[in-house]
Amino acid sequence: MNEFDPSSTKLVSLASLPVGSRARIERLLGGRLMTRRLLSLGLRVGSVLDVIQQRGRGVVVASHGIRVALGAGVAEKLLMLPLAPANEE
C-alpha cells in the first residue's frame, strides 16, 4: 500500500491544491507562532489533509475527523506532498 502518487513528487503550497485532493504536510514556512497555532488545531508536519473547499486562496481541510478553515497566508506557507486519493490506495 503506497500512499505516494509517483506523478507528483514536488512540494506545492496548500493554497494551490484543488478540491478533492489529499496531501501530507512536509514543511512549514512560518515562524514559531504559526507552528503553535497549527499544533493547537491538530495540524503538524506529517498530517494528511483532504482539501474540502476553496475560499479564494484560503481552504477548508479535513484531518482525522475535524475540519479547519485556513486563510490564504497560512495556506501559502504550508508545503504539501500530494498523495493518491483515499479511494485509490
- pTM given for the model: 0.81
Residue 5 lies in a domain: no
Question: In the chain, which ranges are continuous DSSP H helix?
Answer: 32-40, 72-77
pLDDT at 67 over 90: yes
- Show the domain range for 18: 12-88
What is the CB-side half-sphere exposure of residue 76 using CA atoms within 13 A? 5
Contact indicator for 41, 69 with CB cutoff of 8 Å: no
- Residue 49 has a pLDDT of 96
Residue 3 lies in a domain: no
- Residue 5 has a pLDDT of 45
The average pLDDT across 30-55 equals 93
Residue 1 lies in a domain: no
Where residue 36 sits, what CATH number does that domain have? 2.30.30.90
- Residue 7 has a pLDDT of 47
Helices (H) and strands (E) in the chain, counts: 2, 6
- Residue 86 has a pLDDT of 62
Residue 69 lies in a domain: yes
Number of domains in the chain: 1
